[in-house]
Amino acid sequence: SIIRDLEADGHEVVYSDTDSVFVRAPTPSLEGALAFGESVARRFTGAGATFEFQSVYEAFFSHGAKKRYVGRTAWPKSDLVVRGYETRRTDAFDYQSQSLLEIFDLILKGDTDGAIRRSRELVAAVRERKVAPESLVISRSVRAESEYNEATRDALPFLRVFRRLREEGYDVIPGMKVAWIVTDSRQSPQAVEPWIEGRPFSAEPDWEYYAERVAQTLARVTEVFDWDAAALLRGSHQRRLGTDGSADPTPGAAPPASLDTPLTEVGVRPRRRTTQRSL
């Protein structure tokens, strides 16, 4: 296979999936990476198959999951490439998306400690109500009510917001986008409050709900360093358990870390995969 042949020649394949192969360039220069990429493409193009050299990455991160990686390209243009992390889902909010991009930037700069520390800070800021409500707004376009399953209509937050706006006299029609903030996720269906640009928002966001959403999003990156969503919400790294389920029996073991604990004092096992000037 292509991967086996490349590795047999001493080249490091840092990531691969069904239609892509990322290889560390043997020389740390753009010119060297371009020459290497073109030579690899020529070598493996043939027998009815085309091996296309598409880009050079100056930094790349993946924790092994297929179709999930982020990188910064240096050629053919400088760009941030994100695959599999959904920075803009239909139910995403600005703070969530911007937080993820901020962590990507730190990871690609090689600042693992900074990325974990900043992730904890971003989650803590929501729990401490230091985030502007407008950055928590969720929005979605609404179709005609008849197009939704009658049994689930009352549970759809965007449809309930649409009805509420219509009742309040706003000129809303199917196809328009409505916006809201979740105020109580524990209710069923969850309580939401319409967000109207320019109108004062007096309701209280469900800060715990939003903190959990941010933690879950950032944990898709930080979990490779043993910081899952629960750890980000706690702001501390759980002490490992012994084989009998008790706390780590190692003599002198440190207590769980807090938000201010230096990352060098926390039991993090980095498994980061980044590469410079890689094909």
Statement to judge: residues 76 and 11 lie in one domain: yes
Only one residue has tokens 């012994």, namely 242
* Residue 197 CB contacts under 8 Å (≥ 6 apart), including other chains: 179
Does residue 188 fall inside a structural domain?
A: yes
Q: Which domain holds residue 31?
A: 2-83
Does residue 226 fall inside a structural domain?
A: no
**Considering its fold, how many domains does the chain have in total?**
2
Where a domain ends, among 83, 106, 122?
83
Give the pLDDT confidence of 85-124 residue by residue, as tens digits: 877 778 899 999 999 999 999 999 999 999 999 999 999 9
> How much is the pTM?
0.82
Q: What is the DSSP string of 135-180?
A: GG-EEEE---GGGS-TTTGGG-HHHHHHHHHHHTT----TT-EEEE
Statement to judge: residues 137 and 79 lie in one domain: no
Q: Where are the alpha helices (DSSP H) in 79-203?
A: 94-108, 112-127, 157-167
> Residue 256 has what pLDDT?
42
Give the pLDDT confidence of 135-188 residue by residue, as tens digits: 999 999 999 999 999 999 999 999 999 999 999 999 999 999 999 999 999 999
Does residue 257 fall inside a structural domain?
A: no
Which CATH number belongs to the domain containing residue 28 in this structure? Answer: 3.90.1600.10
Distance between CA atoms of 155 and 143, rounded to whole angstroms? 15
Does residue 12 fall inside a structural domain?
A: yes
